Chains A and B, each alone.
Chain A
Amino acid sequence: MQQFLTQTGSNSSAATSPPASPQPRLRQQQAPRKERDPQNKEKEAPPAAMADEHQDLTRAFAGLGGLGVDETALVSALGRWRRQPEKRAQFRRGFLGFFSASAGAVAGIERCEDEYLLHLQAEFARFKDAAVLWAMHPWERDARWAHHVLHKAHPPQVLVEVACTRAADDLLGARRAYQALYHRSLEEDVAYRVRDANASLLVGLVSAYRYEGACVSEDLATEEAKALAAAVRSAPAAATKLVQNEQVVRVLATRSKPQLRATFRIYMELHGKPLEEDLAAEPCLREAVKCLDSPPKYFSEVISRAFSDDADRQAKAALTRVLVSRADTDMEDIKDAYARQYGAKLADAVAKNTHGHYKDALLAIIGK
């Protein structure tokens, strides 16, 4: 890495030395130009305007620029700044967050920060991920996501999502795809890799093959709502955490979804507030309840979190995951839930917060 930077660095500062590797150099500087160009339409801008542009760019790069990369602007910038290395050098010098003159001082360059490269890599990859995931079989998608989460020790949100929002046969299909891909069962890997308090809940959720019929017993729902309430009440004083409570795990991991929704409804009637509120201390449990109760509402929350300013890598990747995986199932319901919760159309929010081909792909998936 250092070598290639030195080579490219020497390119811009000493025009006489031959270009060592023109291609990587170009790629590295594409993105800054993409952000810069919308503000800088002319080649020679007055110094005051340049200062403004730099401010805009700095804002854009601090992660507030939305998701994805504006490929068209990038390409036009490439053309416009052709043969003008001094423009690029100026930009790099002005962009303190991502290019560091001090770090590269030894070589006489403004060195590109490694974090910035990773950020760019993630942003450029969003469209590719969306396209590849869209083309895959839903079962393979779910299996790959589950495997990734388990082996990179990310938070188990994806596992809960896959286990609770897919239909019983789709969850089974995902487990079979997992076996075909990784030669182990999903249950084994979850049991082996999740070592914290959430383990028994997660194993139960992924092993489930829930009854899919509409048969609901109100008496059973009342009984179980009371059992859940008792568990919640005794949680602060109990030896084990609420998420390890046998009753809770049993009810959430085995009952059918219509039955659970009746249970949650009765809980609300008995206690005046929804079960999720009482589970604030156990994020995994809370997510499971939300997913089981109303997937569209849960998904619209996940989408909204991806747009927020302090969204981390997982939260941003969730946007692609949710939209691609729900495109064929309950996208309309998600759109309604989003509009109800956030007062804006989902398509508008996506258009506002994403760029380029990634944006077009997502809008096409969402539909009218």
Chain B
Amino acid sequence: MATLKVPATVPPVADDCEQLRKAFQGWGTNEALIISILGHRDAAQRRAIRRAYAEAHGEELLRSITDEISGDFERAVILWTLDPAERDAVLANEAARKWQPANRVLVEIACTRTSAQVFAARQAYHERFKRSLEEDIAAHVTGDFRKLLVPLVSTYRYDGPEVNTRLAHSEAKLLHEKIHHKAYTDDEIIRILTTRSKPQLLATFNHYNDAFGHRINKDLKADPKDEYLKTLRAIIRCFSCPDRYFEKVARQAIAGLGTDESALTRVITTRAEVDLKLIKEAYQKRNSVPLERAVAGDTSGDYESMLLALLGQE
């Protein structure tokens, strides 16, 4: 359910490169042109444009972008133009280096991407940062969060549909027991959440609901301020309902005084080619206002135009 709008007849790559070059040249920059090109190309097309641009003009496209534009608009364009794997690697690197307990980016990357995508992100991380993602997380994150986050990103989850119902039942019981005794950092909880495959986990959560009459997240709300519990709930939500999870991130970014631009950019650029349409529907349902209108109300200028282009507005 992507929202990205690509024109019916895409201009040849050379033309796009030409236009982009023209947009950067001279005094000032033609931001509208940048948005109209890059904001309407999918990942493969953007990759082709980057390659052709570097060959034709001897300079990386991303370099030209950073030179010419700045601020939130620059960040949105850069993140958007990168390959999905590189984008995840860059976001993960930022999250690891400047890690704080309230940071959920690593959880998002580990739980809302497929196994192959997480792995591609780890490979891109090697190339870009000359270290493995696990090392950096392990080096910067401490305590219980490290115990949870390192295995969360390292596992290469089984991505087939097979589910063992008996195991789902027994692990739901196990989770319930541990949560009941408030042993939130117990090895078993971490083991289950960080190694089981997504269909297996969904079966486990469903069984939890059937067996105990309420969802597992309800039992994890003992202390509303505890960031560790919030992280556990985020993991579970990312698996069960990623669209509503991202709707909440977007809502919290927009609501109140000021905007959390980095969160909003992250949601829109990482999901535009995945399920932004579902996120928009969830947003409309929850807030009675289309996401585009909320974004337009809270942001301005070229940054706003970029986000609206990615949201599918013409």
Residues of A bordering B, CB below 8 Å: 172, 175-176, 179, 183-188, 191-192, 199-200, 203-204, 207-213, 215, 246, 250, 253-256
Number of interface residues of B (CB under 8 A): 30
CA distance A254 to B197 in the complex (A): 22
Q: A200: which B residues are within 8 A, CB to CB?
A: 187
Assuming the contacts A213-B126, A254-B150, asked whether A208 and B197 have C-beta atoms less than 8 A apart, the reply is: no
CA distance A210 to B196 in the complex (A): 22
CA distance A212 to B156 in the complex (A): 18
Tell me the minimal C-beta distance from B82 to chain A in angstroms.
20
Residues of B bordering A, CB below 8 Å: 119, 122-123, 126, 130-135, 138-139, 146-147, 150-151, 154-160, 162, 187, 191, 194-197
B130 touches A213 (CB 8 A): yes
The 4 residue pairs across chains A and B that have the minimum distance between CB atoms: A207-B154, A188-B195, A254-B135, A185-B158
Interface residue SS majority, chain B = helix
A209 touches B155 (CB 8 A): no
CA distance A158 to B130 in the complex (A): 29
Q: A246: which B residues are within 8 A, CB to CB?
A: 146-147
Q: A183: which B residues are within 8 A, CB to CB?
A: 158, 160, 162
A184 touches B197 (CB 8 A): yes
For A188, the closest partner residue in chain B by CB is: B195
Q: Can you name 16 A-B pairs with beta carbons within 8 Å?
A: A176-B156, A179-B156, A179-B158, A183-B158, A183-B160, A184-B158, A184-B197, A191-B195, A203-B151, A208-B154, A211-B126, A211-B130, A250-B138, A254-B134, A254-B138, A256-B131
CA distance A209 to B119 in the complex (A): 9
CA distance A188 to B131 in the complex (A): 25
CA distance A270 to B115 in the complex (A): 41
Select A211's contact among B131, B146, B151, beta carbons within 8 Å: B131
A208 touches B134 (CB 8 A): yes
B135 touches A255 (CB 8 A): yes
CA distance A188 to B155 in the complex (A): 9
CA distance A211 to B196 in the complex (A): 25
A172 touches B119 (CB 8 A): yes
B135 touches A207 (CB 8 A): no
B132 touches A211 (CB 8 A): yes
B122 touches A209 (CB 8 A): yes
CA distance A188 to B194 in the complex (A): 8
B196 touches A188 (CB 8 A): yes
Tell me the minimal C-beta distance from A71 to chain B in angstroms.
42
CA distance A250 to B154 in the complex (A): 12
Select B156's contact among A172, A204, A250, A256, beta carbons within 8 Å: A172
For B130, the closest partner residue in chain A by CB is: A215
CA distance A208 to B126 in the complex (A): 12
CA distance A184 to B191 in the complex (A): 14
